[in-house]
Structures are given as structure tokens and as C-alpha cells.
Structure 1
Amino acid sequence: MIDAIRACQHHEVGLTWIPVSPLWRTLRKVCNTHVFASMKLDATQYLRRNKIQELIANVGESCHKGEAIKIGQAVFDTTINLLSNTIFSADLADPNSSSAQEFRKIVCDIMVEAGKPNLADYFPLLKKIDPKGVRRWMTVHFNKLLNLFGNMFDESRQSRQSQDYSVSNDVLDTLFDIIEGGIEKLNKIIVTNLLLVLLKAKKELDEAIDKENPVEESGINRLPYLQSIIKETFRMHPAVPLLLRHQQALMLTFALDDGYAQDCFYRMLHLILRYLINCFDWKLEGEISPNEMNMKEKYGIAVQMVEPLLAILILV
């Protein structure tokens, strides 16, 4: 376990890090029942549809203006808004919201800080003095994040006491452990996918899907080539190439348990990729070819591109 995770005793309460125990079973049960259960996923299908429509509207506006867009940032905003609406019933990637801007900065700081090389991870005797200051800065960022979440919880509790409150399907008892890694992982996979065999994927979509009738989640099974692109991207460009403790690696193999987490993840991943490929044609900014792109990656708790992908959309 890296020393950065010990900030704010996160390793004692984080579902990823704690050993099998009553607390671990309780947190896992919360995830199974309130987040990843098929019934819950079906109940929030309208959220995924709305966020996809917002994404298409935003990139479509840039398309009409002939502007290049940051694909990673657009997908980041979509996924973070989906997750935050599922949990808090609020957009955490709203550019007009000060709390959303603060959240984005905190998450980016945590990703960078947790991915830094740290001497304390290699020499346990140095953990007490924290020579690189990683745990100290992670404590600062975690406290900011928890304060932000705490304010959202307080606002939600107050709104529930009002007479005009309408019941939502969010998950207020689920904290940062549910979404950690999910944002950057999904973001990385989608950005890389856009570089792979778009023409063949578009042909499959044209044959299988009517553009006038947007595909629903149940229609993803009719797109085997699109699923193959995603699997190959997982194999060649893992977003998080480091193993969690007690986990095995399957080299040159794409394999995930047929469980609730996989179902939740793929519903959003396939829908975003399907709409981005089928609704627009793409070209790189500056008329450069894909072979000339800088594919170098940088440190972080999730692997990111050194130079974000910039592309110009062409409405089809």
C-alpha cells in the first residue's frame, strides 16, 4: 500500500484497501445494494441518457463553430456529472459552479500527488518523517474533498426536510471510494478508443442502428466490433497499470468478473463511445496525422496523456 493512501486514515475505511472485516462487508453490501444492483442501474438509465444528450449538445456547438475540443475534458465532465448525480443529485462538473471548479482541482491534485514517486513507499522507516511531503499534501487535499462532500450532505439533509422535496435515486451514503479511479479510467479508455478503426466502427453502427432512433443500453449487444475495440484498448493501454494488493494480473488477456461493477462501468462506456463515433466525423487539430500524435503518458494515480487529445468535429 502506498503511503499517500494513509492520509486521513483513508486506508482504514477505503473499500479498496481495508482487509476482509465487518466494515468491509458492510461497505460491499452498500455498493451491491444501493449502487451497482441491476435494479438501481435500470432506475438511473434516464440519467445516463440525459448526460449523453448534454455531451452531444456541447460538442455539437463546438462542431458548428469549427472549434477544436479537448476530448478528455468533455468526457471527464460527462462521467463526473453522471457519477455525482447518481450519488449527490448534483452536477460536479458545471463550469458555472464554484464548488464544481473546486472539486475538479481537488481531484486533479489528488491524482497527481498519489502518483508521485515516494521514498517512503520503498523504505518503510521513512514513513514517519514523510520525506517528500506526499502524505502531508494528500491530507490537505482529502480534507478539502471531505469538507466539500460534507457541505453537500448538509444541503441534502436540509432539502429533505422541506415540504416540496421530491425523492431522488442518489446514494448519499457512498463516498469517494465509489468513484476513485473510475473517472480517469473511463476518460483514458474513451480517448484512446477514438484513435482506433473509426471507419469500421461507424459502418457497424450504420448497419445496426437507425440514426433517427438513438441506441438504448439494451442495443449494445448488437455491436460486437465496438465491444472488441474497447477490449483491445483495455489490453494495450491500461488506465491503471499498477495492481491493487492481493490481486492477480492476466497478461495479454481481457477478463473481468461478470459482476455488478462491470455492468455499471460498461453501460456508460459503450454509450459515450457509440454516440461520439456515430454522430460526428473527426480530424486532429492542425491537420496532423494520428501517427504524429504524442502518445507519451505522465505520472498519476491513473495514467494520462502528456498532451490532451484535441480534435475538430464534423457533423454527419
Structure 2
Amino acid sequence: MDSVMIFMALLSILFLYFNIRRRPASRLPPGPYPFPVMGNILSLGSSPHISLASLSKIHGPVMSLNLGNMTTIVVSSPDTAQNILQKNDRICSGRHLPDIFKVLDHNKYTFVFGPANSQWRTLRKIIKENMFSQPQMDAKQGFRLKKVEELIAFVRRSSVVKIGDAAFTTTLNLLSDLFFSMNLAHYDSNFSREFKDHLRMALEIGGSRNLADYFPIFRFVDVQGLRRRGRFHLSRLICIFEEIIQHRIESKETKNDFLDALINLSQETHDSTLTINGISHLFIELFGAGTDTISSTVEWAMTELLRNPDKLKKAQGELRAFAGDKLIIEESDISKLPYIQLVVKETLRLHPPSPFMVPHRAEAEFEIVDMEGKYLFRVPKDAKILVNIWEIGRDPKVWEDPHAFIPERFLKSEFDFNGQDFRFFPFGSGRRSCLGMVLGEKMVHMLLISLLLSFDWKLEEGINPQDIDMDDKFGITMEKAIPLRAIPIPIPIKS
């Protein structure tokens, strides 16, 4: 597909350009020299987070690229990330809306890709107060435990488990029950598979490289078929959500859930973003942001533990010593399991949910300075800003033996997930950081604990730990290229 994209771009727009766009080298950060027309698109490769990490070793921790007609600034060190996300948080709070998200007028309702304006602040406040406030988190603790029990029951009746799929279904049910007071997914149902397929395909298409994002001329034609495919999957999801919302309104049922809160607000405020259609678009983004991030992190954690049997033994030893005869523990017990917490942190360091976070956009021109305040580079207005969290997590200047899975390394420093330490911020930082960070952290821990406490695990016959494929698949989230399959061995339930 990459070669087709490049070939089509060259044929279609070469005649429109007569001069190479040259960077003002004295002010922009350094970077690879751009080719005519294509700029530096060839430099991205099939795994941009890895390709740009290699380029940063040549051009430095902040560099500029020409991607078609767009100036892109790539940040690859803790200091420069802090400069962008903390010192210039307000200026860099904009978003570049990918062309694919204009289908079905999604751009009118988007929360993730919208500007940080009054509409965005209103939606953020609604989501935080009705889903992620401490009272809401406390009230739903027993409900989250129920979802963990459903996962354990499914694994017990399975001979082989695709870890990512099982975690995805559990997370999908968690969110759908929070939103609608109902399960949208069952581990074996056709509807569940269809819903998951539509959601995952929408995420995959959203993370695809699109010629229309690089060259405006391609916004008039759907050369790659991304709009057509995106419209198909998004429309199916919207139909599902609109049917649920319409039924709730017509039945006048009261569930005291997130959907009720949105419907009540729409009737009180007549907000155009809270129509049935607008709420449906919001649910697409909430499901998209919450499902793959949690499930992929659980899958990577299990992958690293199966690949490192000594770490697996240590994690299970801590769990079983603490739990005794219990096969389920409470969320409040997570703080009493230090090694499990180290495993999750090390997984997020090596495999952040998104390698670049959602790209930022400079709302105005600003300067990048060093720690002493000395001028370094200029970032022009409307530049796209990519923060390579994947590379920062593997920076040898920050992390000893950075490519090895060593949970114990976090014993040396107090790292958390709040985005204030720019050596480790897997959920982002600043005003555009992940709003569901607290819920995501709790669910990753609880799903991983349930898999490790209730089961022993082994790989399928003929596969050794060192043979596990560790390639990732680039997209909005960073999934395993080859899903992890493992055989569960249930721990006997003691009476």
C-alpha cells in the first residue's frame, strides 16, 4: 500500500509543483532534506515511530519534516517534550483533524480532534463529572469487579485464549455498561464480533496514512478508498448507538448512567453537540479511546511476562502470597502489590498505548528554548507536532538497558501516570492528556491480576518464550502485529 500511495502521489501532483519547498534552515529545527513534492514522506516507512527514532539519532531530539505540504515537528526527548507540552501547553493545544474524520460530519462533533474551545471544554467537563470523578469511580467499583469475574469465567471454559481479544471484550462491556447500563459484547456472540469488527476497523482506518492529509488535492478524490470504508464502519456504529439512544428517550427509562446524563443535558441546554447524532459520534470516540488502549496494554504485559518466565513467576508469587485462597481481589488491594505495579509501568514504558499520542497543532508561532532559556528553534503556526513517546521510553540517556523488560528499574524512582515527569508519560500531559487515565490504570491492573491469579499460563506447543513475535502494528494504538495466544491452566477453586 505504501508504494502505491507514493506512486499515485507522484503521478497526480508532480506537475503542480515546480520548485522544491526549502526550509528556513536557520530557524526551523534540523531534519532530513525533503524530496521534491513528496517532502519526507518516504522517511516514515511502515513503522513511523521506529523510523523517526532512527532519524532523531542523526538530526537531534527535535527535528522538522516536510510531509507533503505540512511542516511537522518531531520531539524525541524529555526536555523538548516538556518544552512543548508544559511551557507551551496552551499554544500547542490545537489538533490537526485527519481527513478521514470528516466523513458523516464527524468533524462537527469530535472531542478528540476538535480545538480546545468552549465546546470542547463543555464536553470535557461533562465526561469528567459523569464518568471519571472520584464519586463516580467509587460508585462503580463493584461493577468493574463483576466484569473481571466475567473474564475469568470465559477463560476457564477456553482451551486457548487470544489475550487481546478477551481483554477487548471485557473493556467493551465495561464501557457499554457505564454508558448504557447494558453489555454490548458477549465473548461468543455474532453481534459482539460484528460490533468489535466495526470499531476496530474504524480505529485501523483512522490510523492509516492518508494522502489527503498530505496533499490537499486528494481531498476531492478517495484514491485509497479510506473515506468509503470509514463511512461504512462509522455509519454502522452510529446506527447502533442511535437506536440505543432513541429507545431510552422513547421508553423514558431512568438508569442514572452516562447516557441519562447526556440526554438530560441536551434537553436542558439544547446544545447542538448533544443531539442524538452528536451523542452517537461522542460514543464512537469514547469507545475508540477506551477499548484498544486497555486491551493492548494487557496483551503486551502478558506477552512480556510469558517471554520472561522469571518475571512471570515473581509476579504470580507476589499475587498468590497476598491473596491466599482468594482468586479475586479488590481494586483497593492494587496498592499492596508493588511488583504488579512495576510490571504495568514497565509495559507502558516499552509499549505505550499510542506511540505519538494524538498529534498537536501549533495555534501560533513559538520558540523552543533549552533548559537555560537559550533560543534554539522556531515552530511555525499550524505546524503538526509529534511527540514520540515510544522513543522517549527507550532513550538510553534516561533508561539503562532500555530495550530490556526490567520492572525492577522503577524501584529506583517514583514515577506515576500524571504526566508531570517527561521521562514517563504514557497517557500524555497537559490539557489534552487522556481524560480516562484513572479508569484505564485501574482496569489494566485488574485484568492483568485476574489472568495471573486465577491461571497458570503456557504457550502453544512448539513455541518457546524467545520465539514470541514482538513486532507491533502502527496505528492510533500500538497493537501486537501477531496476536498473543496462550493456554490457561486454571488454579483449582478451594472450597
* Fold agreement, TM-score > 0.5: yes
Could you say what secondary structure the match of 2:461 adopts?
helix
**Matching residue of 1:34:** 130
**Matching residue of 2:286:** 178
Residue 76 of structure 1 contacts residue 187 of structure 1 at CA under 8 Å; is this kept in 2? yes
Residue 103 of structure 2 contacts residue 227 of structure 2 at CA under 8 Å; is this kept in 1? yes
Q: Which structure 2 residues correspond to residues 50-199 of structure 1 after superposition, within 5 A?
A: 50-62=146-158, 67-95=159-187, 99-161=191-253, 167-172=255-260, 173=262, 175-194=283-302, 195-196=304-305, 197-199=311-313
Deviations 1:82-135 (A, max 9, x none): 011100112111256554333112112212222322211221232122321212
**Displacement, 1:222?**
0.9
**Displacement, 1:215?**
1.8
User: Is residue 20 from structure 1 mapped to residue 95 from structure 2 by the alignment?
Assistant: no
**Displacement, 1:149?**
0.3
Separation in 2 of the partners of 1:285 and 1:98?
A: 26
Separation in 2 of the partners of 1:108 and 1:167?
A: 28
Q: In structure 2, do the counterparts of structure 1 residues 5 and 259 end up closer, same or farther at CA, with 3 Å as the change threshold?
A: closer
Which of 197, 204, 224 does residue 338 from structure 2 map onto? 224
Residue 300 of structure 2 contacts residue 480 of structure 2 at CA under 8 Å; is this kept in 1? no
Deviations 1:37-68 (A, max 9, x none): 11111111122111111111111122xxxx11
Could you say what secondary structure the match of 2:436 adopts?
helix
**Displacement, 1:181?**
2.8
Separation in 1 of the partners of 2:233 and 2:153?
A: 33
User: Is residue 267 from structure 1 mapped to residue 375 from structure 2 by the alignment?
Assistant: no
Separation in 1 of the partners of 2:312 and 2:337?
A: 13
**Displacement, 1:34?**
0.6
Separation in 1 of the partners of 2:124 and 2:137?
A: 16
Separation in 1 of the partners of 2:250 and 2:294?
A: 33
**Displacement, 1:77?**
0.9
Q: In structure 2, do the counterparts of structure 1 residues 249 and 241 end up closer, same or farther at CA, with 3 Å as the change threshold?
A: closer
Q: Which moved more, 1:296-305 or 1:85-94?
A: 296-305
Residue 186 of structure 2 contacts residue 192 of structure 2 at CA under 8 Å; is this kept in 1? yes
Residue 34 of structure 1 contacts residue 171 of structure 1 at CA under 8 Å; is this kept in 2? no
- Write the letter of the residue equivalent to 2:299: V
Separation in 2 of the partners of 1:300 and 1:20?
A: 23
Separation in 2 of the partners of 1:243 and 1:260?
A: 13
Q: In structure 2, do the counterparts of structure 1 residues 148 and 167 end up closer, same or farther at CA, with 3 Å as the change threshold?
A: closer
**Displacement, 1:260?**
5.8
Q: In structure 2, do the counterparts of structure 1 residues 145 and 27 end up closer, same or farther at CA, with 3 Å as the change threshold?
A: same
Residue 239 of structure 1 contacts residue 302 of structure 1 at CA under 8 Å; is this kept in 2? yes
Deviations 1:177-227 (A, max 9, x none): 222232111111111111322111112112333332732111111112111
Separation in 2 of the partners of 1:218 and 1:123?
A: 51
**Matching residue of 2:35:** none
Runs of at least 5 residues in structure 1 that lack an aligned partner in the other structure:
none
Separation in 2 of the partners of 1:244 and 1:96?
A: 33
**Matching residue of 2:60:** none
Q: How many matched pairs?
A: 308
Q: Which structure 2 residues correspond to residues 220-259 of structure 1 after superposition, within 5 A?
A: 220-246=334-360, 248=387, 251-252=392-393, 253-255=423-425, 256=427
Q: For the pair shown, which has the larger CA radius of gyration, 1 or 2?
A: 2
- Write the letter of the residue equivalent to 1:229: V
User: Is residue 278 from structure 1 mapped to residue 453 from structure 2 by the alignment?
Assistant: yes
Identity percentage of aligned residues: 32
Separation in 2 of the partners of 1:293 and 1:96?
A: 26
Larger helix fraction of residues: 1
Deviations 1:220-244 (A, max 9, x none): 1111211111111111112321332
TM-score (norm 2): 0.58
Q: In structure 2, do the counterparts of structure 1 residues 283 and 175 end up closer, same or farther at CA, with 3 Å as the change threshold?
A: same
Could you say what secondary structure the match of 2:115 adopts?
coil
Q: Which moved more, 1:133-142 or 1:95-104?
A: 95-104
Q: Which moved more, 1:98-107 or 1:73-82?
A: 98-107
Separation in 2 of the partners of 1:268 and 1:106?
A: 23
Separation in 2 of the partners of 1:28 and 1:245?
A: 18
Where relative contact order (Cα < 8 A, 6+ residues apart) is larger, the structure is: 1
Q: In structure 2, do the counterparts of structure 1 residues 152 and 160 end up closer, same or farther at CA, with 3 Å as the change threshold?
A: same
Which of 306, 309, 316 does residue 484 from structure 2 map onto? 309
- Write the letter of the residue equivalent to 1:191: E
User: Is residue 205 from structure 1 mapped to residue 380 from structure 2 by the alignment?
Assistant: no
Separation in 2 of the partners of 1:119 and 1:283?
A: 43
Q: Which moved more, 1:102-111 or 1:32-41?
A: 102-111
Separation in 2 of the partners of 1:138 and 1:213?
A: 42
Residue 470 of structure 2 contacts residue 480 of structure 2 at CA under 8 Å; is this kept in 1? yes
TM-score (norm 1): 0.89
Could you say what secondary structure the match of 1:103 adopts?
helix
Deviations 1:165-186 (A, max 9, x none): x634343535222222321111
Residue 113 of structure 1 contacts residue 134 of structure 1 at CA under 8 Å; is this kept in 2? yes
Separation in 2 of the partners of 1:168 and 1:99?
A: 26
**Displacement, 1:287?**
4.1
